[in-house]
Copies of this chain bind each other. A is one copy, B any other.
Amino acid sequence: MTAIGFLAGVLTTACWVPQLLRSWRTRSTKDFSWLYLIVISAGVALWAVYGVWQADAAVIAANVATLCFLLFLIGLKLTERRREVAA
């Protein structure tokens, strides 16, 4: 049954990839508000902590991967803001 958890994790993580590629290609993260990114990152980080506490590899893996994507998006958004301030 752990396979179900890993498959669920792959699906809910994979669906971030098209969005990530679009943001990277367009160098625009306007689709994501700061509030949205902070709330979902906090939630995903807490899920990872919960997974560690439950010693649940599927929950840990999915949420650590998603957190990496989110931190990448936050990084893109920060550089975008610096470009706007500099312009």
Are A49 and B4 closer than 8 Å at their CB atoms?
yes
- Which single residue of chain B is at the shortest CB-CB distance from A49? B4
- A8 CB–B CB distance under 8 Å: yes
- Which single residue of chain B is at the shortest CB-CB distance from A10? B43
The quantity of this chain's copies bound in the complex is 2
Taking a contact as CB atoms closer than 8 A, the residue among B7, B12, B14, B53 that contacts A1 in the complex is: B53
- Are A39 and B14 CB-contacts (below 8 A) given A1-B53, A46-B4, A53-B4? yes
- Are A50 and B12 CB-contacts (below 8 A) given A31-B31, A59-B59? no
Query: Contact residues of A with B, CB < 8 Å?
Result: 1, 4-5, 7-15, 18-19, 31, 33, 35-36, 39-40, 42-44, 46-47, 49-50, 53-54, 56, 58-59
